[in-house]
Amino acid sequence: QPHPSLPLNDGRSIPQLGLGVWRTPADTTAQAVQAALAAGYRHIDTAAIYGNEGGVGEGLRASGVAREEVFITTKLWNAEQGFDSTLRAFDASMQLLGLDVLDLYLIHWPCPSRELYVDTWRAFIRLREEGRVRSIGVSNFEPEHLDRIVQETGIKPALNQIELHPRFQQHRLRGYHATHGIATQAWSPLGQGQLLEDAGIQAIARKHGKTAAQVVVRWHIEMGHVVIPKSVNAGRIAENAGVFDFALDAQDMAAIARLDQAEGRIGPNPLTAA
């Protein structure tokens, strides 16, 4: 049974669960990717700055799963923003991944003070027109940045990948995405593991005979997010995908809704991050 997919505003779709590989060492990435593909994942999330695009390509080729069955995302790093430098950085990523066509390319951060994200977005549009990438999107964009690229180019991102987990639920941004038909993808979906210590999450897990990680991943699935938990451990990678045989009830969802915190952000603030 394949994992569910969500539709994108460009007519394509994305598997709702993927493996994240931030801080996965280059020399263990191929193994983690193979473990994920063996466990039924069909979606891998990497980035140029993670230094492991080569391992992602290697794991994909070694898995025996057909290229066309797997959705691969990578991201343009901040230092490469700008029209020409984006085109060059894309080529470098594709070389490392060993792919002809990418499924999704994201602008990693808007870096608003540098004023380059609109030119960068124009290069993304070019790459999609050339058929080198199927879908284009952004990461860590706030409504003002999303408004700006759409005003200047007329092209909406398919998806925005943002920090999103039960302690930081991003109501405003999720509302914006819903209004504009942009998919929401959750990074650090487990709160980098911190949420697994939460007593309320653990109680819900016991009730369902599931683990805390499975409860949090399941919450994202039911919220309609694309979710990319990270692990390098084959057992945990499989565990995080064991979320399609149970459902959270209204009481569980209400309890998790209450975990939201105004200051729940773990990562950088996109308005000030370089």
Nearer of residues 11 and 40 to ligand NAD, judged by Cβ: 40
Kindly report the backbone phi and psi dihedral angles of residue 212, in degrees, each rounded to the nearest multiple of 5, phi listed first.
-60, -40
Cβ proximity of 237 and 217 under 8 Å:
no
CA–CA distance, 90 with 7 (Å, rounded to integer): 24
Rounded to a whole number of angstroms, the minimum distance from the CB of residue 148 to ligand NAD is 19
Q: Does 139 bind ligand NAD (CB under 6 A)?
A: yes
Binding-site member from 6, 118, 150, 196 for ligand NAD (CB under 6 A): 196
Among 15, 20, 55, 137, binds ligand NAD (CB under 6 A): 20
Residue in this structure with the two tokens 């990270």, named with its chain if needed: 230
Contact letters for ligand NAD, residues 143-182 (x by CB under 6 A): ------------------x---------------------
Judged by CB under 6 A, the residue of 191, 205, 218, 248 near ligand NAD is 191
Q: Could you give the count of Cα atoms lying within 13 Å of 87 in the half-sphere of its Cβ?
A: 11
Pick one of 14, 17, 21, 76: the residue that binds ligand NAD (CB under 6 A): 21
Contact 22, 266 (CB under 8 A): no
**C-alpha span between 67 and 44 (Å, rounded):** 12
Distances in Å between the Cα of 271 and the Cα atoms of 111, 122, 177, 208 are 7, 21, 18, 39
**Contact call for residue 192 and ligand NAD (CB under 6 A):** yes
Residue 192 · residue 216 · CB < 8 Å: no
In DSSP notation, 62-102 reads HH---GGG-EEEEEE-GGG-SHHHHHHHHHHHHHHHT-SSE
Of the listed pieces 111-119, 172-180, 189-197, 257-265, which binds ligand NAD according to CB under 6 A? 189-197
Taking CB under 6 A as the criterion, the residue among 230, 243, 248, 259 binding ligand NAD is 230
Per-residue tokens: 261: 């915190």
Active site residue 50: yes
> Stretches 76-84, 97-105, 116-124, 234-242: which one binds ligand NAD (CB under 6 A)?
234-242
Q: Who's near 87: CB < 8 A, 6+ residues apart?
A: 123, 126, 127
Q: Judged by CB under 6 A, which stretch of 2-10, 90-98, 149-157, 231-239 contacts ligand NAD?
A: 231-239
Establish if 137 lies at the interface with ligand NAD (CB under 6 A). Answer: no
Q: Is 145 annotated as a binding-site member?
A: no
Task: Tell me if 220 contacts ligand NAD by CB under 6 A.
Answer: no
The one-letter code for the residue type at 151 is Q
Q: Cα separation of 132 and 80, whole Å? A: 18
Least gap, CB of 265 to ligand NAD (angstroms): 11
* Phi/psi at 99 (5° precision): -115, 155
In the annotated binding site for substrate, the residues are 108
Contact residues: ligand NAD, CB under 6 A: 20-22, 45, 108, 139-140, 161, 187-193, 196, 213, 228-231, 236, 239-240, 267
Active site residues: 50
